[in-house]
């Protein structure tokens, strides 16, 4: 990737909307400006979204923003669609596990991390044949669930799926004070669960979200013997893609069950619909009910409670408006 401090992209309306939601949820400072949809700033990065469709990323932190946020989170589908077979290097297959998560950017529902072991090239080819690819490229949840059934038929129980429900997620977030540490903990648990069923697995690959030592440090005895690698856009790997689908299928089922339990349909992602349901749940059961269904460090939780959003999100369980005033 080029080291330029001023890079221009052209985004669709949907991509701009997705980018704005992501920046809002991660507490960037957004402002309005002439001829712009919005302008966002954080530390050494400035992001200017122009009405013309142009996105300009500036500042010393621009390369990291492009590599770790814009490309994997916002432009992912476009990049996969534009990648031709000739651009993909032919790498000899080796048995390995892939890991990925679902629910990280969703206000409601759990965080789900899956690890899937692909034992041989034949299984890898069969996975591709049933439609295994990065789950974000699969538009329909029912399709993802059906492919997940096919993955289980092909791989059997050689996988580990960890579902961190909202209440557990909120407790862990308070303890760890860092989403990357929580993700690493979940990846480590999923990998440990997989190794109980597939001790022959010697290598694992995950999408890069932080220093790989975060996952390594969270692993127990079995996991520490494995060779772990992280790379950006790892979902192009069949094992990681399979894990992303297993995680998404479990997230969709858990979100549906959680909504039925509370008598409301819980929407995915973030935005106006999510804000409306969050407010409805808060009015129904206060911060306690909200914390049983949602990730409370998100901006949406503060908005639902009528609270100002703190810069560094020092969230504590069941924070209420009265607590804030005192």
User: What range defines the domain where residue 18 resides?
Assistant: 6-74
Look at residue 244 and tell me if it is in a domain.
Answer: yes
pLDDT above 90 as % of the chain: 49
Helices (H), the chain: 13-25, 62-65, 76-82, 121-129, 141-155, 166-176, 179-197, 213-218, 238-261, 272-293, 299-305, 321-325
Does 13 lie in the same domain as 104? no
pLDDT tier, 210 (very low <50, low <70, confident <90, very high otherwise): low
Does 241 lie in the same domain as 134? yes
In the β-sheet with 36-42, what is the strand arrangement from edge to edge? 6-10, 54-58, 45-50, 36-42, 29-31
The pLDDT score that the predictor gives to residue 1 is: 37
pLDDT over 60 at 321, yes or no: no
Look at residue 165 and tell me if it is in a domain.
Answer: yes
Does 231 lie in the same domain as 146? yes
Average pLDDT, integer, range 180-190:
90
Q: Is 36 helix (H, G, I), strand (E, B) or coil?
A: strand
pLDDT over 60 at 18, yes or no: yes
CB 265 within 8 A of CB 101: no
Angle CA 183–196–233, to nearest 5: 40
pLDDT over 90 at 234, yes or no: no
* Sign of the C-alpha dihedral computed for residues 257, 260, 265 and 266 taken in this order: negative
Look at residue 79 and tell me if it is in a domain.
Answer: no
Report the chain's terminal Cα–Cα distance, integer Å. 49
Q: Provide the 8-state DSSP code for 205.
A: E
Phi-psi domain of 82 (left: phi exceeds 0; alpha: psi -120 through 50; beta: other) = alpha
**Residues 139-177 pLDDT 10s:** 889 999 999 999 999 999 999 999 999 999 999 998 888
The pLDDT score that the predictor gives to residue 9 is: 85
Does 230 lie in the same domain as 113? yes
Does 33 lie in the same domain as 149? no
Look at residue 29 and tell me if it is in a domain.
Answer: yes
pLDDT above 70 as % of the chain: 85
* Packing angle, helices 121-129 and 238-261, rounded to 10: 50
The pLDDT score that the predictor gives to residue 90 is: 47
Domain harbouring 112, CATH code: 3.30.420.10
Using the 3D structure, point to which of 190, 223, 253 is the last residue of a domain: 253
Does 109 lie in the same domain as 174? yes
Average pLDDT, integer, range 288-308:
92
Does 282 lie in the same domain as 167? no
Residues in Cβ contact with 58 at an 8 Å cutoff, skipping those fewer than 6 apart: 5, 6, 7, 45, 46, 47, 48
- How far apart, in Å, are the Cα atoms of 249 and each of 146, 167, 212, 244, 266? 9, 20, 26, 9, 15
Q: Provide the 8-state DSSP code for 72.
A: I
245 vs 188: CA distance, rounded Å: 18
- Domains held by the chain: number: 3
Does 159 lie in the same domain as 227? yes
pLDDT over 50 at 62, yes or no: yes
CB 121 within 8 A of CB 230: no
Using the 3D structure, point to which of 194, 227, 253 is the last residue of a domain: 253
127 vs 94: CA distance, rounded Å: 15
Q: Which residue has the tokens 């429900």?
A: 165
Does 208 lie in the same domain as 128? yes
Domain harbouring 55, CATH code: 3.30.310.10
Look at residue 81 and tell me if it is in a domain.
Answer: no
Average pLDDT, integer, range 108-125:
95
Using the 3D structure, point to which of 253, 281, 303 is the last residue of a domain: 253
Look at residue 170 and tell me if it is in a domain.
Answer: yes
61 vs 197: CA distance, rounded Å: 42
Look at residue 143 and tell me if it is in a domain.
Answer: yes
Does 296 lie in the same domain as 185? no
Look at residue 138 and tell me if it is in a domain.
Answer: yes
pLDDT over 80 at 206, yes or no: yes
Give the DSSP H/E element, type plus range, for residue 115: strand 111-118
Phi-psi domain of 263 (left: phi exceeds 0; alpha: psi -120 through 50; beta: other) = left
Does 283 lie in the same domain as 203? no
**How many CB atoms neighbour CB 83 within 10 A?**
12
pLDDT tier, 220 (very low <50, low <70, confident <90, very high otherwise): low
Does 129 lie in the same domain as 34? no
């Amino acid at each position: 990737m080029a080291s330029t401090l001023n890079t221009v992209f052209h985004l669709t309306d949907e991509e701009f909307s997705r980018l704005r939601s992501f920046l809002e949820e991660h507490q960037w400072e957004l402002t309005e400006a002439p001829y712009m949809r919005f302008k966002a700033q954080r530390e050494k990065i400035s992001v200017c979204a122009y009405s013309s469709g142009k996105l300009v990323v500036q500042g010393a932190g621009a390369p990291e923003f492009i590599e770790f946020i814009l490309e994997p989170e916002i432009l992912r589908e476009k990049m996969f669609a534009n990648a031709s077979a000739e651009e993909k290097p032919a790498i000899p297959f080796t048995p390995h596990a892939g890991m990925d998560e679902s629910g990280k950017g969703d206000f409601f529902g759990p965080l789900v991390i899956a690890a899937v072991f692909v034992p041989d090239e034949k299984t890898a080819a069969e996975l591709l044949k049933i439609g295994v690819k990065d789950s974000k490229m699969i538009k329909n949840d029912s399709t993802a669930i059906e492919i997940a059934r096919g993955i289980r038929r092909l791989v059997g129980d050689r996988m580990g799926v960890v579902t961190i429900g909202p209440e557990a997620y909120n407790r862990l977030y308070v303890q760890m004070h860092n989403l990357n540490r929580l993700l690493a903990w979940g990846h480590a648990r999923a990998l440990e669960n997989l190794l109980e069923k597939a001790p022959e697995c010697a290598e694992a690959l995950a999408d890069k979200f932080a220093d790989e030592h975060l996952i390594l440090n969270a692993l127990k005895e079995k996991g520490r013997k494995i060779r772990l690698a992280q790379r950006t856009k790892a979902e192009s790997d069949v094992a990681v893609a399979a894990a992303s689908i297993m995680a998404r299928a479990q997230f969709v089922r858990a979100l549906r069950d959680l909504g039925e339990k509370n008598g409301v349909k819980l929407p995915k992602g973030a935005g106006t619909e999510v804000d409306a349901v969050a407010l409805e749940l808060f009015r129904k059961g206060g911060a306690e009910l909200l914390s049983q269904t949602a990730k409370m460090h998100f901006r949406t939780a503060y908005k639902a409670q009528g609270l100002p959003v703190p810069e560094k999100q020092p969230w504590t369980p069941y924070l209420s408006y009265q607590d804030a005033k005192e």
